[in-house]
Protein backbone atom coordinates (compact mmCIF):
# COMPACT_ATOMS: atom_id res chain seq x y z
CA UNK A 1 0.00 0.00 0.00
CA UNK A 2 1.40 3.38 -1.00
CA UNK A 3 1.84 5.89 1.79
CA UNK A 4 0.58 9.41 1.32
CA UNK A 5 -2.21 10.96 -0.66
CA UNK A 6 -2.65 10.00 -4.30
CA UNK A 7 -5.07 11.30 -6.90
CA UNK A 8 -7.01 8.04 -6.59
CA UNK A 9 -7.35 8.44 -2.81
CA UNK A 10 -8.52 12.04 -3.20
CA UNK A 11 -11.09 11.05 -5.81
CA UNK A 12 -12.32 8.14 -3.66
CA UNK A 13 -12.63 10.41 -0.61
CA UNK A 14 -14.59 13.04 -2.54
CA UNK A 15 -16.78 10.36 -4.10
CA UNK A 16 -17.64 8.90 -0.70
CA UNK A 17 -18.55 12.40 0.55
CA UNK A 18 -20.84 12.88 -2.45
CA UNK A 19 -22.38 9.43 -1.91
CA UNK A 20 -23.03 10.37 1.73
CA UNK A 21 -24.70 13.59 0.58
CA UNK A 22 -26.91 11.84 -1.98
CA UNK A 23 -28.01 9.22 0.56
CA UNK A 24 -28.68 11.95 3.14
CA UNK A 25 -31.02 13.83 0.82
CA UNK A 26 -33.76 11.34 1.69
CA UNK A 27 -33.53 12.51 5.29
CA UNK A 28 -33.73 16.16 4.29
CA UNK A 29 -37.45 15.78 3.70
CA UNK A 30 -37.90 15.15 7.45
CA UNK A 31 -36.46 18.58 8.26
CA UNK A 32 -38.79 20.21 5.76
CA UNK A 33 -41.84 18.31 7.06
CA UNK A 34 -41.20 18.81 10.79
CA UNK A 35 -39.58 22.26 10.77
CA UNK A 36 -37.11 20.93 13.34
CA UNK A 37 -33.44 21.63 12.50
CA UNK A 38 -31.56 18.36 12.58
CA UNK A 39 -34.63 16.14 12.11
CA UNK A 40 -32.97 14.60 9.09
CA UNK A 41 -30.30 13.35 11.45
CA UNK A 42 -31.79 9.87 11.76
CA UNK A 43 -31.08 8.92 8.16
CA UNK A 44 -28.03 11.16 7.81
CA UNK A 45 -26.41 9.70 10.92
CA UNK A 46 -26.72 6.17 9.56
CA UNK A 47 -25.17 7.01 6.20
CA UNK A 48 -22.54 9.27 7.74
CA UNK A 49 -21.45 6.78 10.42
CA UNK A 50 -21.18 3.87 8.00
CA UNK A 51 -19.46 5.80 5.20
CA UNK A 52 -17.07 7.77 7.43
CA UNK A 53 -15.79 4.61 9.11
CA UNK A 54 -15.60 2.84 5.75
CA UNK A 55 -13.63 5.76 4.29
CA UNK A 56 -11.03 6.03 7.07
CA UNK A 57 -10.33 2.30 6.85
CA UNK A 58 -10.27 2.35 3.05
CA UNK A 59 -8.05 5.40 2.54
CA UNK A 60 -5.96 5.08 5.74
CA UNK A 61 -4.59 8.63 5.53
CA UNK A 62 -4.92 11.29 8.21
CA UNK A 63 -7.40 13.86 6.93
CA UNK A 64 -9.73 11.46 5.13
CA UNK A 65 -12.75 12.16 7.34
CA UNK A 66 -11.86 15.87 7.55
CA UNK A 67 -11.82 16.16 3.76
CA UNK A 68 -15.04 14.16 3.49
CA UNK A 69 -16.67 16.41 6.07
CA UNK A 70 -15.54 19.56 4.28
CA UNK A 71 -16.81 18.38 0.88
CA UNK A 72 -20.11 17.29 2.46
CA UNK A 73 -20.51 20.64 4.28
CA UNK A 74 -19.79 22.74 1.20
CA UNK A 75 -22.16 20.72 -0.98
CA UNK A 76 -24.88 20.68 1.71
CA UNK A 77 -24.87 24.47 2.12
CA UNK A 78 -27.92 24.96 -0.17
CA UNK A 79 -29.66 21.93 1.38
CA UNK A 80 -31.49 21.36 4.68
CA UNK A 81 -28.72 19.07 6.00
CA UNK A 82 -26.71 19.83 9.17
CA UNK A 83 -28.90 22.87 9.79
CA UNK A 84 -31.03 25.14 7.68
CA UNK A 85 -30.42 26.12 4.06
CA UNK A 86 -27.62 28.66 3.66
CA UNK A 87 -26.49 28.40 7.31
CA UNK A 88 -22.81 29.33 6.81
CA UNK A 89 -21.58 28.12 10.22
CA UNK A 90 -22.42 24.59 9.13
CA UNK A 91 -19.23 24.78 7.07
CA UNK A 92 -17.49 24.19 10.41
CA UNK A 93 -19.48 21.10 11.37
CA UNK A 94 -18.20 18.65 8.74
CA UNK A 95 -14.49 19.45 9.06
CA UNK A 96 -14.59 19.49 12.89
CA UNK A 97 -16.43 16.18 13.07
CA UNK A 98 -14.09 14.76 10.42
CA UNK A 99 -11.03 15.90 12.36
CA UNK A 100 -12.35 14.14 15.46
CA UNK A 101 -12.92 10.96 13.42
CA UNK A 102 -9.38 11.19 11.99
CA UNK A 103 -7.90 11.64 15.47
CA UNK A 104 -9.86 8.67 16.82
CA UNK A 105 -8.69 6.51 13.92
CA UNK A 106 -5.09 7.61 14.47
CA UNK A 107 -5.28 6.76 18.18
CA UNK A 108 -7.23 3.50 17.90
CA UNK A 109 -6.25 1.94 14.56
CA UNK A 110 -4.52 -0.97 16.28
CA UNK A 111 -7.96 -1.93 17.65
CA UNK A 112 -10.10 -1.51 14.54
CA UNK A 113 -13.42 -2.58 16.08
CA UNK A 114 -12.96 -0.04 18.89
CA UNK A 115 -11.96 2.65 16.39
CA UNK A 116 -15.08 1.94 14.32
CA UNK A 117 -17.46 2.06 17.29
CA UNK A 118 -15.78 5.20 18.69
CA UNK A 119 -15.84 7.02 15.36
CA UNK A 120 -19.49 6.09 14.81
CA UNK A 121 -20.58 7.30 18.25
CA UNK A 122 -18.39 10.37 18.77
CA UNK A 123 -18.74 11.78 15.27
CA UNK A 124 -22.52 11.54 15.25
CA UNK A 125 -23.04 12.87 18.77
CA UNK A 126 -20.61 15.71 18.02
CA UNK A 127 -22.56 16.54 14.84
CA UNK A 128 -25.79 16.92 16.81
CA UNK A 129 -24.07 18.93 19.52
CA UNK A 130 -22.43 21.28 17.00
CA UNK A 131 -25.73 21.80 15.17
CA UNK A 132 -27.31 22.77 18.48
CA UNK A 133 -24.40 24.99 19.65
CA UNK A 134 -23.97 26.81 16.33
CA UNK A 135 -27.74 27.07 15.94
CA UNK A 136 -27.92 28.73 19.37
CA UNK A 137 -24.98 31.04 18.68
CA UNK A 138 -26.38 32.10 15.30
CA UNK A 139 -30.09 31.75 16.07
CA UNK A 140 -31.93 29.27 13.88
CA UNK A 141 -35.72 29.16 14.30
CA UNK A 142 -36.72 26.10 16.32
CA UNK A 143 -33.24 25.25 17.62
CA UNK A 144 -34.41 25.58 21.23
CA UNK A 145 -36.56 22.47 20.73
CA UNK A 146 -33.38 20.45 20.15
CA UNK A 147 -31.84 21.25 23.57
CA UNK A 148 -33.67 18.66 25.70
CA UNK A 149 -33.01 16.01 23.09
CA UNK A 150 -29.26 16.69 22.75
CA UNK A 151 -28.62 16.85 26.50
CA UNK A 152 -30.71 13.81 27.43
CA UNK A 153 -28.83 10.80 28.86
CA UNK A 154 -31.11 8.61 26.74
CA UNK A 155 -29.81 10.39 23.64
CA UNK A 156 -26.20 9.75 24.66
CA UNK A 157 -26.87 6.07 25.37
CA UNK A 158 -28.98 5.64 22.24
CA UNK A 159 -26.36 7.38 20.12
CA UNK A 160 -23.65 5.14 21.55
CA UNK A 161 -25.59 1.97 20.84
CA UNK A 162 -26.97 2.91 17.41
CA UNK A 163 -24.14 4.98 15.97
CA UNK A 164 -21.46 2.78 17.49
CA UNK A 165 -23.25 -0.13 15.84
CA UNK A 166 -23.44 1.72 12.53
CA UNK A 167 -19.73 2.54 12.81
CA UNK A 168 -19.02 -1.15 13.35
CA UNK A 169 -21.18 -1.90 10.30
CA UNK A 170 -18.94 0.44 8.27
CA UNK A 171 -15.90 -1.49 9.50
CA UNK A 172 -17.49 -4.84 8.60
CA UNK A 173 -18.30 -3.48 5.14
CA UNK A 174 -14.63 -2.61 4.74
CA UNK A 175 -13.46 -6.05 5.93
CA UNK A 176 -15.77 -7.72 3.40
CA UNK A 177 -14.34 -5.61 0.57
CA UNK A 178 -10.69 -5.20 1.62
CA UNK A 179 -9.36 -8.02 -0.56
CA UNK A 180 -11.08 -6.83 -3.74
CA UNK A 181 -9.07 -5.42 -6.62
CA UNK A 182 -10.91 -2.08 -6.37
CA UNK A 183 -9.84 -1.56 -2.75
CA UNK A 184 -6.27 -2.61 -3.59
CA UNK A 185 -6.25 -0.14 -6.48
CA UNK A 186 -7.52 2.71 -4.28
CA UNK A 187 -4.95 1.90 -1.61
CA UNK A 188 -2.20 1.78 -4.23
CA UNK A 189 -1.17 -1.82 -3.67
CA UNK A 190 -0.66 -4.72 -6.01
CA UNK A 191 -3.70 -6.04 -7.87
The reply to whether 127 falls in a domain is: yes
Q: Given this model, what pLDDT does residue 191 score? A: 47
Q: What is the pLDDT of residue 99?
A: 97
Q: How many domains does one find in the chain?
A: 1
Give the pLDDT of residue 20. Answer: 92
Has residue 2 been placed in a domain?
no
The residue segments making up the domain with residue 86 are: 7-187
pLDDT at residue 24, as a whole number: 84
Three-state SS string over 139-188 comes to CCCCHHHHHHHHCCHHHHHHHHHHHHHHHHHHHHHHHHHCCCHHHHHHHC
Q: What is the pLDDT of residues 106-149, one digit of tens each?
A: 999 999 999 999 999 999 899 889 888 888 888 777 788 888 88
Question: Rounded to whole angstroms, how far apart are CA atoms 178 and 176?
Answer: 6
> What residue ranges of the chain have pLDDT lower than 70?
1-2, 31, 36-41, 83, 189-191
Is residue 104 in a domain?
A: yes
Q: Answer yes or no: is 1 within a domain.
A: no
Cβ atoms of residues 119 and 52 within 8 Å:
yes
3 state SS of 60: coil
Tell me, yes or no, whether 88 lies in a domain.
yes
Q: Is residue 143 part of a domain?
A: yes
pTM comes to: 0.87
User: Comparing C-alpha atoms, which of 135, 161, 138 is closest to residue 36?
Assistant: 135
Amino acid sequence: MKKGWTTTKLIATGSLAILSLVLSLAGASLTVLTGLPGASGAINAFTSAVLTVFAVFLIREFGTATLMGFVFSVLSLPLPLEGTVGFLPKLLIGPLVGLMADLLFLLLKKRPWLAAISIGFVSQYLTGLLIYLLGSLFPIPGIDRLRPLILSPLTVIGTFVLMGGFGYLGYRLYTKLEDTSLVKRIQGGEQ
